[in-house]
Structure 1
Amino acid sequence: MKQDWIGIGSLALLTVVWGSSFALITVALDGFPPIGVAVFRVLFSALALALLARALGHPLPRDPKIWAWCAAVGLISLLVPFFLIAWGQQSVPSALASIYISASPLFVLLLSRLVLGEQVSARRWAGFAVGFFGIVLLTGPGALTQLGSGNALPQLALLAAAACYAGSSVLIRRMPEVPPIPASAAAQIAAAVFALPLLPMALPEAVPAAGPLLAIAVLGVVQTGLAHVLRYATVRRSGPVFMSTVGYLIPLWATLLGVGLLDETLSGAQLAGFALIVGGLVLARKRRARAAAPA
């Protein structure tokens, strides 16, 4: 059986795009409150995908049932986790926050078994668990000292965000067949409609500088809008479990960026974490059935 090179290429591109989001968010927070970053990301992405769908001649869905599916995807994959992360990270260290978000692939395995009825082998569970432990080492085990330290609700919010990302992948897999661009545009538009009442709280106190404005625009158009189209297509093509491995690849990319561009050095624990993540992903690969010998 041939490798899913399209799916692998999509994962690689999403890893680069989403792994570069953290720097853009840092810049955007210089001019916008956390809730503003979430709201304006959704608004920019909705506008961008609506214009893209129109320019390419892809009509938006007409069936109310399709819009209901898209609205659920927009809420669970965009608006709700953006708010949960923005709120949680105000009182939870970023290292610990990243560990919580990296639990998303484990939620995907559970939901794929319970909701989609997919068989999840012990080998795959073990591989994902090894990869998650690698994330902990890569991030720094010291982050776990903050676990439950008076910030229970914010930490639960971050864990809920990880569950939202997993749940949205399952929703995308279950929803009726809709082309990626119209489906993604509808999801973004629905999320933007729900975000509009929060706009007064999202506005900055002063006019932001050019840097934060550009960062929020790129976050909305590229990291949120265009990336959602690619994510939707990948989930529909290769499944939510395959898509979820991007959650383990992003920390690897972020680490490589730090080493290559910022001259950061890797500790022994981080090198071990790097190896565990790669090893876990290899372990989690499905065993391919051997072709039956001719009679």
Structure 2
Amino acid sequence: MKLKNLLSLLLLATLWGPSFLFIKIAVVEIAPITLAALRIGLAAALLHVFLLFKGYEFNRSWKFWKHVTIAGFFAHAVPFALINWGEQYIDSSIASILNGLTPLCTVLIANYAIADERMTPEKVFGTIIGFIGLFVLVSPNLVSGMNASVWGIVAVAVAALSYGIAIVYSRLHLMKEKPLYAPSSQLLVSAVYLTPFALIVEGPVVWTSLSWEAIGSLIILGSFGTALAFVIYYRILASASASYLSLVTYLMPIYGVALGVIFLDEILTIEAIIGAGLILLGIMIANKTITIPLGGKKTINVT
């Protein structure tokens, strides 16, 4: 099961990893909140069409819809809009570092909220090693005159916190739901309240003025980076801890580096190799795929 979770996490990172690149392309022509609403709406439509073909039965439970509304707000509406907005003012390397705050936020929140997810030496050590690896991975970009603004940094940092809240909340209230019901319903509800907000704040999209690059980026973000990604996300959540699942944010920048090497003829640096190695090591330690002597079974409780 540990190996299966690790492979699933790698697959999820493969789907989410290129997202920063496609966001950067799309947000040039599509306003940030509108981009979030369109991405979420497309993903919701795709998942519901799939469920209808499988004999989807509408869930009439008020409790279920309350939970998906709250989870969708923190998992989709808030972080998607904030990351889209923030990437207008900061470079993607800084965004990836800030997004790497998600595991740290999740470990802290889960410690208080989930009884069986107290901080353990493995979780803390693995999370720290992963964050160091993330920093090493993008370190060459940090000394090459990066673009950033305070509000852009704040926006992406708050998005990371929102992701942490969503992961813990979903683990508490939605992990026992039927497969695909929770993610598809979250996306549907998020699209319902985010779309009118986007229209009020940013106005309608002028589709004829959009380039094929922007439209293509939107389609990829909605179908692969959201719909398919959240199918994998909830399958992992059913068998792994919230803290472990949040470590996917450390893997995503590795794909950014790989895409640059493959498609942009960028050089694979020693920092990238060391950083990627540290990230994978941290994830394996946190998941106990490999074990190191960290004080036995003692837990760290910050309450």
TM over 0.5: yes
Judged with a 3 Å threshold, the aligned counterparts in structure 2 of structure 1 residues 240 and 145 are, in CA distance, closer, same or farther, namely farther
Structure 2 equivalent of residue 196 of structure 1: 195
Within the candidate set 87, 90, 98, 1:89 is matched to 87
Q: 2:255 and 2:203 mapped to 1: Cα distance? A: 30
Post-superposition Cα deviations, 1:220-259, rounded to whole Å, max 9, x if no partner, equal: 1221122112212211221212212211111122222322
Structure 2 equivalent of residue 20 of structure 1: 18
SS of 2:238's partner is helix
Task: Work out whether 1:184 is the aligned partner of 2:183.
Answer: yes
Within the candidate set 214, 224, 227, 1:225 is matched to 227
* Deviation for aligned residue 1:126: 1.7
Unmatched 5+ residue regions in structure 1? 291-295
Deviates more, 1:189-198 or 1:250-259: 250-259
SS of 1:123's partner is helix
* Deviation for aligned residue 1:5: 4.1
* Deviation for aligned residue 1:71: 0.8
* Deviation for aligned residue 1:28: 2.4
Q: 2:281 and 2:4 mapped to 1: Cα distance? A: 22
Post-superposition Cα deviations, 1:29-71, rounded to whole Å, max 9, x if no partner, equal: 3532222221110111121122111111122321011001011
Q: 1:144 and 1:112 mapped to 2: Cα distance? A: 35
Q: 1:58 and 1:47 mapped to 2: Cα distance? A: 13
Judged with a 3 Å threshold, the aligned counterparts in structure 2 of structure 1 residues 144 and 244 are, in CA distance, closer, same or farther, namely farther
Q: 2:90 and 2:33 mapped to 1: Cα distance? A: 16
Please, what is the CA RMSD of the aligned residues? Answer: 2.7
Whether the 8 Å CA contact 2:71–2:169 is kept in 1: the answer is: yes
Tell me the matched-pair count.
287
Q: Which amino acid aligns with 2:126?
A: G
Structure 2 equivalent of residue 249 of structure 1: 251
Whether the 8 Å CA contact 2:125–2:282 is kept in 1: the answer is: yes
Deviates more, 1:214-223 or 1:266-275: 266-275
Whether the 8 Å CA contact 2:17–2:256 is kept in 1: the answer is: yes
Deviates more, 1:163-172 or 1:265-274: 265-274
Normalization by structure 2: what TM-score? 0.85
Q: 2:122 and 2:182 mapped to 1: Cα distance? A: 34
Q: 1:247 and 1:14 mapped to 2: Cα distance? A: 10
Structure 2 equivalent of residue 283 of structure 1: 285
Q: 2:103 and 2:178 mapped to 1: Cα distance? A: 25
* Deviation for aligned residue 1:161: 0.5
SS of 1:237's partner is coil
Normalization by structure 1: what TM-score? 0.87
Q: Structure 2 matches for 1:1-295, cutoff 5 A? A: 3-117=1-115, 118-140=117-139, 143=142, 151-176=149-174, 177-200=176-199, 201=202, 203-205=204-206, 207=208, 208-286=210-288, 287=291
Whether the 8 Å CA contact 1:138–1:270 is kept in 2: the answer is: yes
Q: 2:244 and 2:67 mapped to 1: Cα distance? A: 22
Whether the 8 Å CA contact 1:81–1:161 is kept in 2: the answer is: yes
Whether the 8 Å CA contact 1:59–1:182 is kept in 2: the answer is: no
Q: Any runs of at least 4 consecutive aligned residues in structure 1 with deviations exceeding 4 A, and if so which?
A: 144-147
Structure 1 equivalent of residue 299 of structure 2: none
Identity of aligned residues (%): 28
Q: Which amino acid aligns with 1:100?
A: L
Whether the 8 Å CA contact 2:27–2:84 is kept in 1: the answer is: no
